[in-house]
Amino acid sequence: MKEFFATFVIINTVSLLLACNVLAAEYDIPEGKQRLIGQIQYHQVEQGDFFQKIAEQYNVGFLALLAANPSIDPFLPEVGTRVVIPSAMLLPFIKQEGIVVNLPELRLYYFEPDKNKVHVFPVGIGRQGLATPKATSYISEKRKDPVWRPTKAMKERYLKEKGVVLANEVPPGANNPFGKYALRLGTSEYLIHGTNKRFGIGMRASSGCIRMYDDDIKWLYDNVALQTRVRIIDQPIKMSYENGQRQLIEIHEPLTEEPGKQTIKLANAVQRFVGSNRNYWHQLVPVIEKPTGLVIELEEGEQDEGKTY
């Protein structure tokens, strides 16, 4: 594990030197009860590519890219390899308004009022032991060039875990972990904010706040109004009957506060959705055991896997 992060930090430092502007993914909201947005993309690895660079290029999360491509080395992918970009998704099962953060998929959705548009961003959330809580809140404050004031608990944790004494406050600038913009959630200490590091977007790596790429948080800062409703939800499994015919399902690794792999618990709704069709279960079991985060269409016939979107 230490070698994993050491390698990541070295490569990530290189990525900081790359000029890579990420753009918000904007989609039309489907009509009726349809939930599928976007479409899967593919990237052919070129010399010098690695997953963090590719994730930034397509504005997706690092872990999402890793889950969709489990057999590819994220740091030294072979030139010419085809990388799946998880840019198709099902909208969460929730009222389509304001900001929705679905924790297991590490994505933030912003439903633009009166425009039938949804904007989707990768986010970083709280790491194990410091989980971002489920909540219903609102944007109470918007800050440009925020000052970072670590909490007492954070100071104690940094001293214990890293031997680092944190300052009482860190002014705006390159050393400020909030980045250039921050949005406060209600009266809480939780923020949606930028970052001074590329590492951690699309991962569980924060102290509980929601991190975004700098271009993404700037877009939210410029476009989201105060009092906008915010809901933080936990939906590792999303389903949809598209056009009343195609059965689509998207499964993500569930959140856990314990080390190791978490077993997915299938709710009654999932079992009703799949039914007793053995072929469907045959296609679904591998994805349940090792979630890819990709949208899968359950298909008739004895197939090893469903169609991927």
Residue 252 annotated as catalytic: no
| Residue 119 designated active-site | no
Tell me, yes or no, whether 260 lies in a domain.
yes
Across the chain, mean pLDDT equals: 88
**Are the CB atoms for 297 and 87 separated by under 8 Å?**
no
Which of the residue ranges 102-106, 153-157, 216-220, 250-254 would you say has the lowest mean pLDDT?
A: 153-157
292 lies in some domain: yes
Domain assignment present for residue 153? The answer is no
Which helix (H) or strand (E) segment holds residue 305: the answer is none
In total, how many domains does the chain have? 1
No. of helices (H) and no. of strands (E), the chain = 7, 19
In a domain, 197, yes or no: no
Q: Which helix (H) or strand (E) holds 284?
A: helix 278-289
pLDDT, tens only, 113-149:
989 999 999 999 998 888 999 999 999 999 999 999 9
- Range of 297's domain? 237-308
Residue with tokens 């633009």: 112
Q: Which of 20, 119, 209, 252 is catalytic?
A: 209
Question: In this model, does residue 198 exceed pLDDT 80?
Answer: no
Per-residue pLDDT tens digits for 46-97: 999 999 999 999 999 999 999 999 999 999 999 999 999 999 999 999 999 9
Structure tokens at 72: 């590819």
Which of the following is catalytic: 20, 43, 193, 282? Answer: 193
Looking at the domain assignment, is residue 285 inside a domain? yes
Domain membership flag for residue 212? no
- Asked if the structure places residue 196 within a domain, the reply is no
Question: Do 114 and 143 form a contact (C-beta atoms < 8 A)?
Answer: no
Sequence-ordered list of residues with C-beta below 8 angstroms from that of 165, at least 6 positions apart, any chain: 155, 158, 159
